[in-house]
């Protein structure tokens, strides 16, 4: 502990670990500390015994669920967009050389009590059960426009003044129905709410292009997921880079200098590790003015013995239940993985439901009832509510940069934006994702 470091990171969640790897690439001297005895923080992967110890203390898992060691249950599962910036970041850090990813079999959206495949190609649009005959063609035209759009080529702009046009106005140009707008915004562009419709249409176009481009990588869905769950990502970073990692280490104090800027951290034994900057998850600064509680997240892990009904027996899937469809304020997300990803026992499936709490914690399962009824027969279910924290400042005043809690979405798009922004704030420069070789991207 009694050494000088360029940056100290507190917590081994995915955001903190990715930032640690990126800083190590820049030859920064890193100390990475976690108060837990395991990697991953709130996105840790647990076996079946650990799940029962956490949520059913004193109970043993039934033998019908299979061996405990066959389970790697992500408490906050999230899929990666195959063509997104996070994949490029992982390629840049070389972590993908040590992990195996598998494409997710389907992306679905809720409508009228059951799930439907999200169409992301012109041919899928014409076959979709989500829309009427004429609406399919309008949606197909919208997809083609977005996929061919190129800011540098006016011929692809359709004659639209896209620089001043809002997303809502772009939708109207294609005469799309209200529900089509909803599933485009929430299940294709992956927005968490409808605030985007008053923003520039170029943002919507780029989000749809990302979905389409990611879809074209593997053909089943735009998402990929690591074998053995997300827990392998933080561990892979710790193995690859030369920073010092200390698990099961309690921090008693973040130490500040007379100028108000951070100068180190003190452990429970009074030893001080010196540094110029700190990146930490919210748990290390709760009770200070560095974070604020911004709400609660409902999560529910369900163990199943069959695929989700109406998903064509997919071994993995993302399902979005738009808020509009269930008269809620916030969308509900379902992340489905299975034994095919080595995260569950043979012939078992994991479905993790997540959303923002809108009422009281004791009503959590009532809030996610529309998602639960989609799953079919549930063998076992674990529901909990966690607090969601956000930083109150950008870290520039005291050089303590705090990440936000993982949100309720089942994709990493918002987390990726935060990682890119944090890197910019800490280093003063943008991450350079332009020097990744083509042969690396195809691995």
Q: Is the pLDDT of residue 440 over 70?
A: no
Question: Do 317 and 377 share a domain, yes or no?
Answer: yes
pLDDT digits (tens, 9 = 90+) for 44-58: 889 999 999 999 999
Q: Tell me if 110 is assigned to some domain.
A: no
Q: Tell me if 127 is assigned to some domain.
A: yes
Q: Is the pLDDT of residue 211 over 50?
A: yes
Find the radius of gyration of the CA atoms of the chain.
22
Question: Do 26 and 163 share a domain, yes or no?
Answer: no
Question: Do 154 and 82 share a domain, yes or no?
Answer: no
Q: Tell me if 223 is assigned to some domain.
A: no
Q: Give the span between the Cα atoms of 295 and 355, in whole angstroms.
A: 11
> Of 196 and 219, which is predicted with more confidence?
196
Which segments of 233-290 are extended strands (E)? 244-246, 251-256, 262-267, 272-280
Q: Tell me if 354 is assigned to some domain.
A: yes
Q: Tell me if 17 is assigned to some domain.
A: yes
From 196, 218, 240, the end of a domain falls on 218
pLDDT digits (tens, 9 = 90+) for 274-332: 999 999 999 999 999 999 999 999 999 999 999 999 998 999 999 999 998 888 999 99
Mapped onto helix, strand or coil, the DSSP state of residue 13 is coil
Decide if 83 contacts 217 (C-beta within 8 A). yes
Closest to 353 in 3D by CA, of 381, 394, 379? 381
Question: Do 395 and 286 share a domain, yes or no?
Answer: yes
Question: Do 254 and 401 share a domain, yes or no?
Answer: yes
**Mean pLDDT rounded to a whole number for the chain:** 91
* CATH number (domain holding residue 333): 3.30.519.10
How many folded domains does the chain comprise?
Answer: 3
Q: Give the span between the Cα atoms of 342 and 369, in whole angstroms.
A: 28
* CATH number (domain holding residue 284): 3.50.50.60
Average pLDDT rounded to a whole number, residues 89-113 = 87
From 346, 368, 389, the end of a domain falls on 389
Question: Do 412 and 278 share a domain, yes or no?
Answer: yes
Q: Tell me if 161 is assigned to some domain.
A: yes
Reduce the secondary structure of 10-29 to three states and give it as a string.
ECCCHHHHHHHHHHHHCCCC
Residue 94: per-residue pLDDT: 80
Would residue 188 be called left, alpha or beta, if left means φ above 0 and alpha means ψ between -120 and 50 degrees? alpha
Decide if 101 contacts 226 (C-beta within 8 A). yes
Structure-token match 């967009």, residue found: 81
Question: Do 185 and 264 share a domain, yes or no?
Answer: no
Q: Is the pLDDT of residue 441 over 60?
A: no
Tokens of 84: 């997104």
Question: Do 279 and 401 share a domain, yes or no?
Answer: yes
Q: How would residue 91 be classed by pLDDT, with cut points 50, 70 and 90?
A: confident
pLDDT digits (tens, 9 = 90+) for 221-269: 899 999 998 887 777 776 666 678 888 999 999 999 999 999 999 998 9
Q: Tell me if 225 is assigned to some domain.
A: no
Say what the pTM is. 0.91
Residue 437: per-residue pLDDT: 56
Question: Do 399 and 418 share a domain, yes or no?
Answer: yes
Closest to 401 in 3D by CA, of 4, 35, 20, 1? 20
Q: Tell me if 112 is assigned to some domain.
A: no
pLDDT digits (tens, 9 = 90+) for 394-411: 999 999 999 999 999 988
Helix (H) or strand (E) run with residue 367 in it: helix 364-367
**Which structural domain, as residue segments, surrounds residue 437?**
4-43+231-291+390-441
Decide if 55 contacts 46 (C-beta within 8 A). no
Question: Do 395 and 381 share a domain, yes or no?
Answer: no
- The 8-class DSSP code of residue 153 comes to -
Percent of the chain having pLDDT more than 70?
96
Q: Judge residue 423's burial from the number of C-beta atoms within 10 Å of its C-beta, 0-12 exposed, 13-18 middle, 19 or more buried.
A: buried
* CATH number (domain holding residue 128): 1.10.405.10
Question: Do 73 and 97 share a domain, yes or no?
Answer: yes
Question: Do 249 and 360 share a domain, yes or no?
Answer: no
From 218, 243, 263, the end of a domain falls on 218
């Amino acid at each position: 502990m009694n050494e000088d470091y360029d940056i100290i990171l507190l917590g081994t969640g995915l955001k903190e670990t990715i930032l640690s790897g990126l800083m190590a690439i820049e030859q920064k001297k890193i100390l990475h500390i976690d108060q837990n005895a395991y990697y991953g923080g709130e996105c840790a992967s647990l076996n079946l015994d650990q799940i029962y110890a956490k949520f059913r203390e004193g109970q043993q898992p039934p033998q019908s669920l299979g061996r405990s060691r066959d389970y790697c249950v992500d408490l906050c599962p999230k899929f990666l967009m195959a063509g997104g910036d996070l994949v490029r970041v992982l390629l840049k850090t070389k972590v993908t050389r040590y992990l195996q990813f598998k494409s997710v079999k389907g992306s679905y959206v809720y409508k009228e009590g059951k799930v439907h495949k999200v169409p992301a190609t012109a041919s899928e649009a014409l076959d979709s059960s989500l829309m009427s005959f004429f609406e399919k063609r309008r949606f197909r035209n919208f997809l083609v426009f977005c996929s061919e759009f190129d800011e540098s080529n006016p011929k692809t702009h359709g004659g639209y003044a896209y620089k001043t046009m809002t997303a809502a106005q772009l939708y109207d140009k294609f005469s799309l129905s209200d529900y089509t707008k909803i599933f485009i915004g929430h299940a294709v562009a992956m927005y968490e709410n409808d605030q985007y419709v008053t923003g520039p249409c170029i943002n919507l176009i780029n989000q749809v292009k990302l979905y389409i481009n990611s879809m074209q990588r593997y053909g089943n869905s735009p998402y990929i997921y690591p074998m053995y769950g997300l827990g392998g990502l933080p561990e892979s970073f710790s193995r690859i880079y030369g920073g010092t990692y200390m698990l099961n280490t309690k921090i008693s104090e973040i130490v500040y200098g007379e100028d108000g800027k951070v100068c180190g951290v003190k452990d429970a034994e009074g030893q001080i590790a010196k540094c110029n900057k700190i990146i930490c998850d919210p748990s290390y600064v709760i009770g200070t003015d560095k974070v604020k509680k911004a709400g609660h997240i409902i999560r529910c892990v369900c163990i199943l013995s069959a695929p989700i009904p109406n998903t064509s027996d997919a071994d993995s899937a993302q399902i979005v239940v738009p808020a509009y469809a269930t008269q809620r304020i916030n969308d509900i997300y379902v992340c489905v993985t299975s034994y095919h990803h080595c995260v569950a026992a043979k012939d078992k499936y994991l479905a993790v439901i997540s959303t923002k709490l809108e009422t009281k914690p004791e009503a959590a399962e009532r809030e996610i009832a529309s998602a639960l009824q989609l799953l079919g027969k549930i063998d076992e279910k674990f529901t909990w509510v966690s607090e969601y924290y956000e930083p109150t400042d950008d870290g520039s005043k005291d050089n303590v940069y705090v990440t936000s809690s993982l949100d309720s979405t089942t994709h990493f798009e918002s987390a990726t934006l935060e990682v890119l922004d944090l890197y910019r704030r800490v280093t003063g420069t943008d991450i350079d994702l332009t020097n990744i070789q083509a042969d690396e991207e195809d691995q």
